[in-house]
């Protein structure tokens, strides 16, 4: 099976429905071979006499290739999911023209959104990515949003060259909280992240939000856009701070006491599932505890049942 699949569906903008070419990567944890695009045909049902909006997560080079393949259409746009708008990138008509943006309105209930918090060096980002992969393996549509400025992304946990990854992360990390000139922008940063989460909740079945290592009050707008939370901490004394930030607005799912030794132990199940587990290290393949995965799948099943 080709690692790239294309589907035709639609997006609603106001009272107008736009034709959408959705990119589905069937093997999201593997590199796409350039040979994959050679036999890649546009779907037969794609109407080149209409507008085409390209949607879905994919490398920029693949999106550009599809834009070129769709150049006969009156206009071509890209769906900017985080901003919930369509940006016009090619046009042969007077309106819309290149650079125009069209807000997207989706008629669906926001999905469960799980905030993942805990102090630095607890394995939070490694755990978040491992949870994303585990949910994908279960056939769930899941998106991991990293609402911090540390320069990391999913790519950091899927690349083989860890030395290069470390270099890229350091180069792209902007420690805005350490500079008085940029620290004042932190509240607006998290307000923007909150709006991004609001937009993403309409596009997937489960949203994970890695919110960084400090339980700052400035994160409350972001917290309020989530529905559940998980705390992973190597420091027991820090866990209560995350409960204080999240518990009044969100439903607690799991507390993970992060350790460096290979460990999995259930500490208690009520009123909140609490386990000891690890290690959560970049250079070791993490093992997602089944009880954690099942807890989250139950949340997703319950959400789907209420939508039926």
Q: Which residue has the tokens 């569906």?
A: 9
- Given this model, what pLDDT does residue 229 score? 98
- pLDDT at 11 (0 to 100): 83
**Per-residue model confidence (pLDDT) at position 155:** 65
Is residue 250 within 8 A of residue 115, CB to CB? The reply is yes
Q: How many CB atoms lie within 10 A of CB 14?
A: 9
| Predicted model pTM | 0.81
Q: Can you tell me the distance from the alpha carbon of 276 to that of 18, in angstroms, rounded to the nearest whole number?
A: 48
Average pLDDT, the chain: 88
Residue 89, pLDDT score:
96
14 φ/ψ sector (left φ>0, alpha ψ -120 to 50, else beta):
left
pLDDT recorded at residue 253:
98
Cα→Cα distances 171→14, 166, 240, Å: 41, 9, 33
Q: How far apart are CA 273 and CA 266, in angstroms?
A: 8
Whole-number pLDDT of residue 109: 84
**Which residues of the chain carry a pLDDT beneath 70?**
1-2, 27-31, 34, 107, 150-160, 177, 307-308
Domains defined for the chain, CATH in brackets: 4-103 (no CATH), 113-307 (3.40.50.300)
């Amino acid at each position: 099976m080709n690692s790239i699949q294309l589907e035709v569906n639609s997006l609603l903008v106001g009272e107008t429905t736009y034709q959408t070419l959705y990119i589905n990567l069937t093997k999201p944890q593997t590199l796409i071979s350039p040979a994959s695009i050679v036999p890649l045909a546009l779907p037969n049902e794609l109407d080149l006499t209409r507008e085409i909006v390209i949607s879905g997560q994919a490398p920029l080079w693949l999106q550009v290739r599809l834009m070129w393949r769709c150049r006969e259409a009156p206009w071509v746009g890209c769906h900017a999911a985080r901003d919930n708008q369509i940006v016009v990138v090619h046009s042969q008509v007077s309106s819309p023209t290149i650079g125009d943006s069209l807000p997207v309105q989706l008629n669906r209930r926001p999905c469960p959104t799980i905030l993942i918090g805990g102090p630095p060096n607890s394995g939070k980002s490694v755990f978040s990515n491992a949870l994303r992969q585990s949910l994908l393996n279960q056939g769930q549509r899941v998106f991991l949003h990293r609402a911090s400025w540390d320069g990391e992304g999913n790519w950091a946990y899927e690349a083989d060259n860890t030395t290069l990854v470390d270099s890229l992360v350091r180069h792209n990390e902007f420690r805005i909280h350490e500079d008085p000139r940029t620290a004042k922008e932190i509240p607006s940063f998290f307000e923007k992240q909150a709006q991004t989460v609001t937009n993403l909740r309409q596009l997937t079945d489960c949203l994970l939000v890695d919110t960084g290592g400090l339980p700052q009050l400035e994160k409350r707008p972001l917290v309020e856009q989530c529905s559940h939370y998980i705390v992973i901490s190597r420091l027991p004394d820090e866990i209560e701070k995350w409960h204080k930030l999240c518990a009044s607005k969100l439903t607690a799912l799991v507390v993970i006491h992060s350790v460096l030794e290979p460990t999995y132990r259930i500490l208690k199940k009520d009123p909140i599932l609490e386990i000891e587990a690890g290690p959560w290290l970049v250079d070791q393949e993490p093992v997602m505890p089944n009880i954690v995965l099942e807890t989250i799948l139950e949340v997703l099943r319950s959400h789907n049942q209420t939508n039926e």
